[in-house]
């Protein structure tokens, strides 16, 4: 196997879903122990536009895509997975992920959110106050989340 640093990043999208009170949707992964939460995210399919991937991933992960895009990070943000984990995921092809982040305003009802999807990724979910988000995130994603929070903070003032 090639060294970790030689492998590319997996392209994916991240979704900061905001409700009408500007709280952020977070969920706990079914495959990660501990009290760590994350926002929805997922890979971009071949020839898929990042915006389309955001809505598809939202639907696949939380059972609804009833939202509108209200912001987009101007840059892609990358993070590395721990070496052991990166060798287990995605047949070991990627060292981590590079993400295009979107802020979406949720237009539906809480009752529309359904984690019992075809391939469940989350065990529970909740809305959190924007400023509490970073304290809940798994450490290896925190740097990316800090950048995303900085970019999307102005959306709360609208």
**Long-range CB contact pairs, 120-124, < 8 A, 24+:** 120/30, 121/27, 121/29, 121/30, 121/31, 121/60, 121/61, 122/27, 122/28, 122/29, 122/30, 122/61, 122/62, 123/27, 123/28, 123/29, 123/30, 124/27, 124/28
Q: Bigger pLDDT: 80 or 157?
A: 80
Residue 118 lies in a domain: yes
Residue 80 lies in a domain: yes
Domain limits for position 52: 7-157
Tens digits of per-residue pLDDT, 54-89?
999 999 999 999 999 999 999 999 998 877 777 777
Tens digits of per-residue pLDDT, 13-45?
999 999 999 999 999 999 877 888 999 999 999
CATH of residue 53 = 3.90.79.10
Could you give the number of structural domains in the chain? Answer: 1
Residues of the chain with pLDDT > 90: what percent? 75
Residue 17 lies in a domain: yes
Residue 2 lies in a domain: no
């Amino acid at each position: 196997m090639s060294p970790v640093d030689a492998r590319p990043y997996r392209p994916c999208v991240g979704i900061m879903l905001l409700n009408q009170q500007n709280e952020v949707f977070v969920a706990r992964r079914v495959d990660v122990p501990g009290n760590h939460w994350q926002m929805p995210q997922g890979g971009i399919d071949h020839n898929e536009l990042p915006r389309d991937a955001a809505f598809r991933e939202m639907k696949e992960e939380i059972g609804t895509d009833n939202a509108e895009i209200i912001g987009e990070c101007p840059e892609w943000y990358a993070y590395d997975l721990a070496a052991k984990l990166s060798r287990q995921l995605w047949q070991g092809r990627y060292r981590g992920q590079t993400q295009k982040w979107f802020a979406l305003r949720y237009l539906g009802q809480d009752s529309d959110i359904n984690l019992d999807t075809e391939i469940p990724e989350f065990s529970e979910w909740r809305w959190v106050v924007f400023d509490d988000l970073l304290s809940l995130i798994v450490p290896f994603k925190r740097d990316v989340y800090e950048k995303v929070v900085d970019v999307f903070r102005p959306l709360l003032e609208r």
